[in-house]
Amino acid sequence: MTVRLGGDALLDALESGEVRAAHPEAGGWVVNAWVKAGILDIFRDSEVGGQALECLAPEVPAGARFTFRDKVAFPVRRLAASAEVRLVPGGSAIRRGSHVGRGVVCMPPMYVNVGAYVGAGSMIDSHALVGSCAQIGEGVHLSAAAQIGGVLEPVGARPVIVEDGAFVGGNTGLYEGVLVGRGAVIGAGVVLTGTTRVYDLVNDRELTGTRSAPLEIPENAVLVPGTRPARGGFAAARGLAQACALIVKYRDERTDAATALEAALR
């Protein structure tokens, strides 16, 4: 989109998916800094006020309401049936200005923040967070307690990106603009930042990134937690190690079977 929107028009376009904080193009991803700048402008212009949501639980008297205090421009979204999103009861929230595609399943409690994009057919499991402006592709599985970090400042920084078909295991953390390639599998407990060292045991290579060009995980890579020796004589004398991640294989039929989600659960 060439027209740069603001206010409610920007939030509406983000919700529809017409506008994104970053979008794929041939050869890589493009960060749309103006989108994040627009969201920040809305934060600055919006006052903090009370917000209320009706409680839909049958055991609670009709008309009971939960009251919150937040920026009034960013209420919790109320999804119509036409959105075809399955939002299971139990304390989840999808914030104004985020896109959740058709067929997404949201297990409680989970949270999607402003500017985030979640592609069609993805699963957001319990206690999972999709941070501000994070980009989640189609058919992605975010397992329980997966933390996808958000970013609004600096506006030019790449958000965390998880491409189509990736599987993000439980208690994982993806931060600082990490890009997880299509079909990759991030094993339980792996934490990746923009500068985490990843050792590819299949191709005998070392991967890392910088603040300006964060780490990118190859398509179909399968990662598990690992350690590497800490530097210095003090560390060596005590057998100390630092966390890293290991690529132990690339996705195959056995991996697909292990990460498949029963269709009935959707």
Determine how β-strand 28-31 pairs with β-strand 22-25: antiparallel
Residue whose C-alpha is closest to residue 144's, from 178, 112, 185, 188:
188
Contacts of 98 (CB under 8 A, 6+ apart): 14, 15, 77, 112, 113, 114, 115, 116, 117, 118, 130
The pLDDT confidence band at residue 35, using thresholds 50, 70 and 90, is very high
pLDDT tens column, 81-131: 999 999 998 889 999 999 999 999 999 999 999 999 999 999 999 999 999
pLDDT at 2 over 80: no
Determine how β-strand 161-162 pairs with β-strand 179-180: parallel
pLDDT at 245 over 60: yes
Residue whose structure tokens are 């421009």: 73
pLDDT at 261: 67
* Average pLDDT of every residue of the chain: 92
pLDDT at 247: 98
The Cα–Cα gap between 30 and 6 comes to 20
Mean pLDDT of 38-58: 83
Determine how β-strand 179-180 pairs with β-strand 216-217: parallel
Mean pLDDT of 133-149: 98
The Cα–Cα gap between 1 and 6 comes to 13
Compute the radius of gyration of the chain from its Cα atoms: 20
Question: Domains in the chain, ordered, with CATH?
Answer: 75-257 (2.160.10.10)
The pLDDT confidence band at residue 14, using thresholds 50, 70 and 90, is very high
pLDDT tens column, 192-242: 999 999 999 999 999 999 999 999 999 999 999 999 999 999 999 999 999
pLDDT at 121: 97
pLDDT at 201: 98
- Torsion angle in degrees (nearest 10) through CA of 5, 11, 12, 18: 70
pLDDT at 135 over 80: yes
pTM for this predicted structure: 0.92
pLDDT at 266 over 80: no
